[in-house]
């Protein structure tokens, strides 16, 4: 006699079909690693020989509940443009759609209602790594009116070299044994600046100077604030409290104690200490005249693949942190 209970249970368990378009890249591999052990997800893949066949790829996309795009910007736009069905949902990990008003920005912690917007959206743009850190520090101050929308903001950051993708990883690991930290994007036109300004609510683009460090992954994003930039308060304690209150119930943003010496190693802040997590650590250092807001995160975790998984969980209406570490 056939037992019906296991059959009914299996039927009741819906397997969500996910296609990672570009899973061989740095971010795609990280996403695949996180999803491959899930029992609620079926990863569907394209024959490597058919990857450049648009008809074969479109057939796979049409079968998927959610497609994660880990592609160059133009290829990501093309993949969405060529999809005619209305049931497949997309998470785009490229910069292609991040300031497109038809796409929902995939940072649940950005503001009230953002988490629900992500859960119901068909099109999600996954945030950049640098903007994730920047927004985690300044967005609460701008939303509260403590920093004005026309504030002139500068940002410095250092990231592990994995953020540059496979080619940069190979260069660092084959040629760069003695390379020091190296600033880049010195023309001040980094591709992350538009989303920084748009989602912070700034009327003037921030001045952003990133640096690649000689380590694989990890990131610090630093925003200096002078007392004269503050509108409603001149107390570093109040600034720290405001940020703490904003994220009090957010599992993925951890606001550290004010002037947290315990996190310093001989006076240095370790950019790798959040690696392997989907966590952003937010620090406030300084005094009432000058403050330094710093976000620390894994550029491949909360800055990329981890954020994709967090957004996917919201879209699938499963536990938000399923498959993620804090």
Active site residue 129: yes
Percent of the chain with pLDDT over 70: 96
Question: What is the structure's pLDDT at 13?
Answer: 58
Average pLDDT of 169-188? 90
Average pLDDT in the chain: 94
Given pLDDT bands bounded at 50, 70 and 90, which one contains residue 7?
very low
Exactly one of 60, 79, 129, 316 is catalytic; which is it? 129
- Is pLDDT of 149 > 80? yes
* 204-248 pLDDT tens trace: 999 999 999 999 999 999 999 999 999 987 799 999 999 999 999
Average pLDDT of 33-60? 92
- Is pLDDT of 283 > 80? yes
- Is pLDDT of 176 > 80? no
Delineate the domains of the chain, giving CATH numbers in brackets. Answer: 15-127+304-316 (3.40.50.720), 129-299 (3.30.360.10)
Nearest CA among 129, 16, 126 for reference residue 71:
126
Query: Between 16 and 9, whose confidence is greater?
Result: 16
Q: Is 122 exposed, middle or buried (0-12, 13-18, 19+ CB in 10 A)?
A: middle
Q: At what angle do helices 236-246 and 129-143 cross, to 10 degrees?
A: 110
Question: What is the structure's pLDDT at 234?
Answer: 76
Query: What is the maximum span of the chain, computed from C-alpha positions, in angstroms?
Result: 79
Average pLDDT of 125-152? 97
User: Six-digit token pair at 205?
Assistant: 């683009």
**Out of 49-53, 72-76, 184-188, 255-259, which region has the weakest mean confidence (pLDDT)?**
49-53
- Is pLDDT of 12 > 80? no
DSSP character for 254?
E
Give the side-chain half-sphere CA count within 13 A for 33.
Answer: 13
* 82-120 pLDDT tens trace: 999 999 999 999 999 999 999 999 999 999 999 999 999
Question: What is the structure's pLDDT at 178?
Answer: 82
* 184-207 pLDDT tens trace: 999 999 999 999 999 999 999 999
């Amino acid at each position: 006699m056939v037992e019906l209970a296991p059959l009914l249970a299996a039927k009741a368990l819906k397997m969500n079909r996910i296609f990672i378009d570009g899973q061989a890249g740095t971010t795609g591999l990280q996403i695949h690693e996180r999803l491959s052990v899930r029992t609620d997800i079926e990863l569907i893949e394209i024959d490597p020989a058919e990857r450049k066949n648009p008809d074969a790829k479109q057939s796979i996309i049409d079968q998927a509940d959610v497609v994660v795009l880990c592609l160059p910007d133009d290829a990501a736009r093309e993949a969405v443009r060529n999809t005619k069905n209305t049931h497949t949902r997309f998470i785009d990990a490229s910069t292609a759609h991040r300031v497109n008003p038809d796409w929902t920005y995939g940072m649940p912690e950005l503001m009230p209602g953002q988490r629900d917007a992500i859960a119901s959206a068909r099109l999600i743009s996954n945030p950049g790594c640098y903007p994730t850190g920047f927004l985690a520090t300044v967005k609460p101050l701008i939303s509260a009116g403590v920093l004005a929308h026309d504030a002139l903001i500068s940002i410095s950051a250092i990231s592990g070299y994995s953020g540059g993708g496979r080619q940069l990883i190979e260069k660092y690991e084959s040629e760069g044994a003695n390379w020091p930290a190296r600033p880049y994007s010195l023309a001040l036109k980094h591709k992350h600046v538009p989303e920084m300004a748009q989602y912070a609510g700034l009327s003037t683009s921030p001045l952003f100077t990133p640096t690649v460090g000689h380590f694989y992954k990890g990131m610090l994003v630093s925003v200096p604030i002078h007392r004269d930039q503050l509108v409603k308060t001149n107390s570093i304690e109040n600034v720290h409290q405001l940020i703490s209150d904003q994220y009090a119930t957010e599992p993925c943003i951890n606001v550290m104690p004010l002037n947290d010496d315990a996190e310093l190693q001989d006076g240095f802040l370790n950019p790798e200490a959040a690696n392997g997590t989907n966590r952003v650590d937010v620090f406030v250092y300084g005094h009432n005249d000058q403050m330094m807001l710093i976000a620390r995160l894994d550029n491949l975790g909360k800055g990329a693949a981890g954020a994709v998984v967090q957004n996917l969980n919201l879209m699938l209406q499963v536990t938000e942190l399923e498959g993620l570490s804090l």
